[in-house]
Structure 1
Amino acid sequence: MELPLRFQITDEDLLKIGFAVFCGGLLGIERQYKNKTAGFRTIILITLGSALFTMVAQQAGLGVNINVITGIGFIGAGVVFKDNTGVSGLTTAAVIWVAAAIGMAAGAGNYPLALITTIVTLAVLLLFSLLEKYIDRVHHDKLFIIVFTNTDYENLHLVEATAKSHHLVAKRRQINKSGDSLQVTLVVTGHKKHINKFDEELLQMPQVRSF
């Protein structure tokens, strides 16, 4: 069965395209300002492409093209990176996913939904980052690789007790004994100012060679 396709461009089509570009541009400016992997042009192209796929699918009588979500998943996976310190790019991947949804809403002609979602997303990215910074200050993680001048485990216990005295939680990750020295990897969690004080105390310990 042949699907009826129309190839003329209407004012409504141009409005959908323009609205998708507008919403994508708002999100893209925020990403570009923060020097993220997916910046201004990338986010616009994602919303534009999603809108076009939706428009073509609707004109062909196929409804909303859910395969757009699958394709966006591959793009989002490409901006997520894992290293020794953790995973980065998750927020950018989420923005790409939301941008595609906004583009689909614009392509379907649901302009209020696309605009409200854009505004809410910007609020999360801009305003919630302040809350996130506060949380990072009061619940900060820092990795310490401490090398002691000898192999006495009492030195490790002293360091852990010092961390506890500053209301910090020290978790052992790795302990290596090499020759006349002991190397310990600790993850210390707590308020950033308390971790700074812990740093200062480590500097004063004669049994700590480096950290």
Structure 2
Amino acid sequence: MENILAFFSNPYIIRIVVAILCGSAIGLEREYRNKAAGFRTVVLICFGSAVFTVISVMLPGESDDRIAANIVTGIGFLGAGVIFKGKLSVMGLTTAAVIWATAAVGMMAGMGELQIAGFLTACMVLILAVFHKIEIVLTIFNINKTIYINFEEASMEQLYAFEKLAKECRISYKRKLIEKDCGAASAVYDLSGSLKSLHTLNEKMLSIAAIKSFSYS
């Protein structure tokens, strides 16, 4: 029993346990939102960063800064792996930022700055949970969307008609792509405007026979 207590009272073990707890708090939020980097992934990132930092501290002489630098480099590659660049959009940037910031929390715990690690964890959970709601509120006043539209015919008049409709609904637009296939046409636009204006645009588009279908990303 005494050996077990002595083991868990080891300052390095305490640092790693704190890193696991910090990673768990962040990971729960990510798992709840069903993100690519979920609970186990985030915990392991925080745990691994703390372990490597502890190793650098345990090395003879002064701590080896090269290990910390390599942690940052390795996390950069891991974060890049969750970023998906589509034809016209990029996804996963927030998840990559979470991975990067979680590694920093783990490194802080590995250095023995447990209070700072706990504070940074609370800040991350606050940013991810509360600021997400702020973003939702902001969309009432302005929202940016990419719309994919399929037209019945490959006619520029149909595109001009849509653009005129967007202006009438007070929606700013930027044409990104036009494609023609088997007599039909498709177009991609970046739209910007209030949520109410976007709903108005959607309702009017549903009544236009020239538009076969449309979707957002």
TM tier, shorter chain?
0.7 to 0.9
Q: Which of the two has higher C-alpha Rg?
A: 1
Q: Is contact 2:144–2:190 with CA below 8 Å preserved after alignment?
A: no
Q: What's the C-alpha RMSD, in Å, of the aligned pairs?
A: 2.4
Q: Is contact 1:146–1:185 with CA below 8 Å preserved after alignment?
A: no
Q: Is contact 1:144–1:188 with CA below 8 Å preserved after alignment?
A: no
Q: CA deviation at 1:200?
A: 2.1
SS for the counterpart of 1:127 is helix
Q: For residues 145 and 110 of structure 1, do their structure 2 counterparts lie closer, same or farther at Cα, with a shift above 3 Å needed? A: same
Which residue identity lines up with residue 144 of structure 2 in the other structure?
A: H
Give the equivalent residue in structure 1 for 2:205.
202
Q: CA deviation at 1:177?
A: 5.7
Q: For residues 58 and 177 of structure 1, do their structure 2 counterparts lie closer, same or farther at Cα, with a shift above 3 Å needed? A: closer
Alignment of 1:103-142 (within 5 A): 103-137=106-140, 138-142=142-146
Match of 1:188 among 188, 191, 198: 191
Give the equivalent residue in structure 1 for 2:12.
13
Q: CA deviation at 1:149?
A: 4.6
Contiguous gaps of at least 5 residues in structure 1: 1-7
Give the equivalent residue in structure 1 for 2:94.
91
CA distance in 2, matches of 1:184, 1:14: 57
CA distance in 2, matches of 1:100, 1:183: 43
Q: Is contact 1:25–1:40 with CA below 8 Å preserved after alignment?
A: yes
Give the equivalent residue in structure 1 for 2:21.
22
Give the equivalent residue in structure 2 for 1:158.
161
Q: CA deviation at 1:192?
A: 2.6
Map Cα deviations across residues 143-183 of structure 1 (whole Å, 9 max, x no partner). 132415573x4443332222111110122223456676555
Q: CA deviation at 1:123?
A: 0.8
Q: For residues 150 and 101 of structure 1, do their structure 2 counterparts lie closer, same or farther at Cα, with a shift above 3 Å needed? A: closer
Which residue identity lines up with residue 141 of structure 1 in the other structure?
A: K
SS for the counterpart of 1:144 is strand
Give the equivalent residue in structure 2 for 1:4.
none
Q: CA deviation at 1:184?
A: 4.0
CA distance in 1, matches of 2:29, 2:201: 36
Q: Is contact 1:150–1:180 with CA below 8 Å preserved after alignment?
A: yes
SS for the counterpart of 1:189 is strand
Moved more, 23-32 or 170-179: 170-179
Q: Is contact 1:140–1:192 with CA below 8 Å preserved after alignment?
A: no
Q: For residues 124 and 56 of structure 1, do their structure 2 counterparts lie closer, same or farther at Cα, with a shift above 3 Å needed? A: same
SS for the counterpart of 1:70 is helix
1:82 aligns with 2:85: yes
Contiguous gaps of at least 5 residues in structure 2: 1-5
Q: For residues 62 and 191 of structure 1, do their structure 2 counterparts lie closer, same or farther at Cα, with a shift above 3 Å needed? A: same
